[in-house]
Structures are given as structure tokens and as C-alpha cells.
């Protein structure tokens, strides 16, 4: 008897999702301090937020899904290479630059006639 | 410590030579082992390496290092003996687990990694037993796997079959790999490199720790005709010189059937002709575009008639595409 497999809905990590620092901490494996450092050195950018009214508490910063992807990479690098926070930050920034360049190369390559590639 | 009445010695498994994996002698110092691990990790770390087998290699290296970096585990590993070669079937000696402060539960598809994980699992339990609460939560491991899908599947959405073997604690509290099979729904509009999170589908958490997540990394398989860039698609559009010069209406394939494209007169090679909303669906911004890139091509062999027509054109035309060469030289 063929049993139908359970179907799980995947949550796309795209621009529509946003996470708090606490959620990033729970999902990335980095500590709050490490995440703060990545924010301070602008390896992670909080999303732009509506300014709170004078009598309201300022809203907690939210981060895009791309930040979760980067934070997870940072956690792996830190663990696997035994890196300190600063080395993790520098490595992450360089990796991000490489990734941006690779994306640009891929986009340009898609526009080249296939015989030229 | 709880001792389990286990079937020690019955588990047949493949021997893995952790020293060979790291490329060090059995007598290597802890510093040499660390150095060898780092060197290999630089080469095979999946976040850095572009090698096709990087993930598997790094997993092997990580498994070897996880055991050899820990003096207790290394001693236990050494005690298994050095007479085996990698891949050889072997059984741990009787009472081997008990000799290292823990007995292990033997199960059919156990491998060396499970065996050593059961040793550290025992340590976790022993440590937890000393605490006030008796247990501390250990989150389950997250997993990342590649999901190779076609452009057609990305355009229309698909279900991707996931086959995993993740460590889970059995009723006896010992970790073992449990096969999991399910389908993950990938909504239409997935793009290259996109990640899908399946919360709780990673490794099981222990002592109330949250279950790990599973991440699918979308990889679009190469297509015979289309190349994807984000949600836009590109296709080569071969045109004859006369179609490019005079203009034409040509049939162009799209992911949802062929359409007619009007090629304007005077189209140059490399020119991009946009077919709006014929690319991949973008969940946020509608639908990507399809770009047909004009490529002016000649027949591999000219018929006598074609040759004559071209010769006529060559004699009758005053067009000079290299006029600017002469202007520069003058």
C-alpha cells in the first residue's frame, strides 16, 4: 500500500519576512552580543522602521530574511574555524562581497549568448 | 549513571579511519590534528568552497575532528584498534562502551558517528543529572539541503521530496538516526539561491529544547533554452541577416507556450527584445520578463542562389561598418 507523504509548506526566506534580534538569536546560533556586533559593523542591517510617537516605546529593530541567512553562515564559520567575533565579522563581510559579485557575474552571464559563455 | 542492558558487540558497522580522513599519523599531537582540520576546513567548508563534493567532504572531516579533538573520545577511538582499514566491516569490542563510561545501544544502521555521539550523549545525561533541574534543554540541529528543481517547476510551484536521516533520541534516551521522508511544497516563483525554511523539521531537541529547522536551498537546473537571472529569463534568438535587416515576426518559446515576437527592422546582434511578463513569477513584484537576445546567424553552407544574392548585395551596397577605423587613422 502506497502511503501518501506528508506535505510541508516551506516558508520562503525573502523580503516579506522580518525577524527580531531575539528570533535571529534563536534561529542562527549566534549570541545577542555577537549579533549586536554584526549590526554595529553593518554586516547586518535592520529594516527601516516607522518612527514611534513621542509617548510610545521605540519599536524593536527588525531584520530581513537575508540577515538570517548571513547570521547562520556567521555562526557556522565561528564554530567550524573557531573564530572570534571580529574575525567572524570580517570573514562575513568578505563573503558577502564575493556573493554580491558572483550574483552580478551570474546576471551578466545570463545575458550573454550561450555560445559565448 | 543508568546502565543499559544493550546488545554490545552486535552492531556491525563500517570502520572509518579518522586519522586518514584528516591526513595525520595516529601519533599526531592535538595541535597537529587541529592544524590538519583547519587546513582541510579551509578547502572544503561549504560556505567557502565551490567544489562539488565540499559538503560531503566537510562532513567527513568534521566527524573525524569531532572525535579526535576530544581526548576521551580519541582514546576510545584508538582502543577500537588500528588493524581495520576504511570501509571495512567491524564490531566494537565487547564492553568497549562500558570501559569509556557509557554503554551504547546497538541498532541496525548504526555507524561510527552514532557510536561516538552516544558517548557524548551519555556525558550530557551525566552532566544533566548533577543539575538542580536534572536536564538542560539542547536545541535540535538545523540542516541545509539543496533542492534541485527545473525552471518549469520554479514557475509553476512544485513539491520536493525530502529524504533525511536525522539523529533522534529513542525511548532509551540514546541517539540514533531516524529516516524521515516527506514532501516540501515550493510555492511558484522560487529563484536561484532562495532558501525555504521548514520549522521543526531538523534534528529533535533534547530535554525540551526546540527542534531544529530544515532549510532547502533552491538550485535551478540548467535549461536547454532559457537562462534565469532573478525572475527574468533570457533566450538566444537566432535571426537571419535578412530577418534582422528587414524585420520579421518570429515564434519564440516561453515557459507557457510559444508566442509571436515582432522583430523590428534593423535589429542588431546582441540587442535585447523584451517580452513583458513572460519570465518567472515573482511573489512580490508580479512576473519577471523574458528577454530574447538577437543573434544574427548564417547558414553553415550557402546554396548557389544564396551566394549570388549576397554577392549582388555586396556589389550594390555602400554601407561600411568600419568607417570609423579610417576616420581614426586619418
- Cβ–Cβ contact B161 with A under 8 A: yes
pLDDT at B129: 40
pTM metric for this prediction: 0.76
* Interface touch A12/B161, C-beta < 8 Å: no
**ipTM for the complex shown:** 0.80
Pairwise CB contact (< 8 Å): A111 & B192: no
A85 in Cβ contact with A67 (< 8 Å): no
Distance CA B25, CA B33 (A): 9
What is the spatial distance between Cα B263 and Cα B294, in angstroms, rounded to a whole number?
Answer: 9
Dihedral sign for Cα B48, B49, B54, B60, please. Answer: negative
Cα(A71)–Cα(A28) distance, integer angstroms: 6
Chain A interface residues (partner B, CB cutoff 8 A): 5-16, 26-27, 29, 65, 69, 72-73, 76-77, 80-81, 95, 103, 106-107, 109-111, 113-115
Contact check, Cβ <8 Å, B236/A77:
no
**A81–B293 CB contact, under 8 Å:** no
Minimum CA–CA partner of B226 in chain A: A110
Taking each helix axis from N to C terminus, what angle separates A21-28 and A32-40, rounded to the nearest 10 degrees? 120
Distance, in angstroms, between A109 CA and closest chain B CA? 9
Query: Is residue A103's pLDDT more than 50?
Result: yes
The rounded average pLDDT for each run of 10 residues, N- to C-terminus, in chain B (330 residues) is 38 82 94 94 90 90 92 87 75 68 55 70 46 64 92 95 84 76 92 91 85 93 94 96 96 95 96 95 88 94 94 94 85
In this complex, the residue of B48, B185, B197 whose CB is nearest that of residue A7 is B185
CA distance A33 to A85: 9
pLDDT at residue B98 in the model: 64
The pLDDT of residue B121 is 53
Q: How many CB pairs under 8 A join A and B?
A: 95
Give the C-alpha separation, B93 to B8, whole Å. Answer: 8
φ, ψ (nearest 5 deg) of residue B147: -115, 105
In this prediction, residue B102 carries a pLDDT of 55
Model pLDDT, residue B64: 93
d(CA B190, CA B282): 8
pLDDT score, position B130 = 41
Computed over every residue of chain A, the mean pLDDT equals 85
Task: Supply the pLDDT for residue B99.
Answer: 64
Average of pLDDT values for A27-32? Answer: 90
- B38 in reach of chain A (CB within 8 A): yes
- Chain A partners of B161 at a C-beta cutoff of 8 Å? 5
Q: Which of chain B's residues have a Cβ under 8 Å away from the Cβ of A13?
A: 194-197, 215
- The answer, for B213 touching chain A at a CB cutoff of 8 Å, is yes
Neighbours of B156 (CB within 10 A): 15
E strands of chain B, at which residues? 13-14, 89-90, 143-149, 158-169, 175-186, 195-198, 214-220, 226-229, 232-239, 248-252, 259-263, 272-275, 281-282, 286-287, 290-296
Interchain contact B201–A (C-beta under 8 A)? yes
DSSP characters for chain A? -PPPPPEEE-EEESTT-EEEHHHHHHHHS--HHHHHHHHHTTSS-BPP-PPPPTTSPPPPPEEEHHHHHHHHHHHHHHHHHT--HHHHHHHHHHHHHHHHHHHHHHHHHHHS-TTT-
Amino acid at each position: 500500500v502506497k502511503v501518501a507523504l506528508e506535505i510541508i509548506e516551506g516558508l520562503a526566506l525573502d523580503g516579506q519576512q522580518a525577524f527580531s534580534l531575539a528570533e535571529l538569536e534563536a534561529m542562527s546560533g549566534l549570541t545577542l552580543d555577537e549579533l549586536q556586533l554584526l549590526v554595529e559593523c553593518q554586516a547586518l542591517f535592520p529594516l527601516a522602521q516607522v518612527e514611534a510617537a513621542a509617548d510610545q516605546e521605540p519599536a524593536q529593530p527588525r531584520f530581513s530574511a537575508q540577515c538570517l541567512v548571513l547570521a547562520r553562515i556567521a555562526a557556522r564559520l565561528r564554530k567550524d574555524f573557531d573564530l572570534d567575533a571580529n574575525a567572524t565579522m570580517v570573514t562575513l563581510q568578505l563573503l558577502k562581497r564575493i556573493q554580491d559579485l558572483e550574483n552580478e557575474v551570474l546576471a551578466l552571464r545570463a545575458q550573454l549568448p550561450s555560445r559565448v559563455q | 549513571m543508568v546502565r543499559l542492558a544493550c546488545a554490545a558487540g552486535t552492531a556491525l558497522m563500517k570502520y572509518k579511519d579518522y586519522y586518514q580522513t584528516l591526513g595525520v599519523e595516529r601519533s599526531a599531537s592535538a595541535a597537529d590534528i587541529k592544524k590538519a582540520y583547519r587546513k582541510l576546513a579551509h578547502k572544503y567548508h561549504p560556505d567557502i568552497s565551490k567544489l562539488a563534493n565540499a559538503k560531503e567532504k566537510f562532513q567527513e572531516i568534521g566527524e573525524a575532528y569531532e572525535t579526535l579533538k576530544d581526548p576521551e573520545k580519541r582514546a576510545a577511538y584508538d582502543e577500537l584498534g588500528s588493524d581495520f582499514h576504511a570501509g571495512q566491516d567491524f564490531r566494537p569490542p565487547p564492553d568497549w562502551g562500558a570501559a569509556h563510561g557509557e554503554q551504547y545501544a546497538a541498532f541496525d544502521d548504526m555507524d561510527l558517528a552514532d557510536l561516538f555521539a552516544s558517548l557524548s550523549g551519555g556525558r550530557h545525561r551525566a552532566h544533566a543529572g548533577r543539575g538542580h533541574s536534572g536536564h538542560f534543554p539542547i536545541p535540535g540541529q538545523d540542516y541545509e539541503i539543496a533542492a534541485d528543481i527545473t525552471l518549469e517547476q520554479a514557475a509553476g510551484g512544485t513539491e520536493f521530496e525530502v529524504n533525511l536521516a536525522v539523529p533522534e533520541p529513542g525511548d532509551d534516551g540514546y541517539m540514533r538516526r531516524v529516516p524521515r521522508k516527506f514532501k516540501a511544497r515550493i510555492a511558484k516563483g522560487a529563484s536561484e539561491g532562495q532558501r525555504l525554511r521548514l520549522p521543526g523539521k531538523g534534528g529533535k531537541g533534547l530535554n525540551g529544547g526546540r527542534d531544529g529547522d530544515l532549510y532547502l536551498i533552491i538550485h535551478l537546473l540548467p535549461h536547454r533554452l532559457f537562462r534565469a537571472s532573478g525572475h527574468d529569463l533570457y533566450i538566444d534568438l537566432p535571426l537571419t541577416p535578412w530577418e534582422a535587416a528587414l524585420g520579421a515576426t518570429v515564434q519564440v518559446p516561453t515557459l507557457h507556450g510559444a508566442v509571436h515576437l515582432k522583430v523590428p527592422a534593423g535589429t542588431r546582434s546582441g540587442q535585447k527584445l523584451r517580452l513583458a511578463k513572460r519570465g518567472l513569477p515573482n511573489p512580490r513584484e508580479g512576473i519577471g520578463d523574458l528577454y530574447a537576445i538577437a543573434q544574427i546567424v548564417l547558414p553553415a553552407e550557402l546554396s548557389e542562389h544564396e551566394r549570388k544574392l549576397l554577392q549582388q548585395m555586396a556589389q550594390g551596397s555602400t554601407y561600411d561598418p568600419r568607417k570609423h577605423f579610417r576616420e581614426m587613422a586619418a
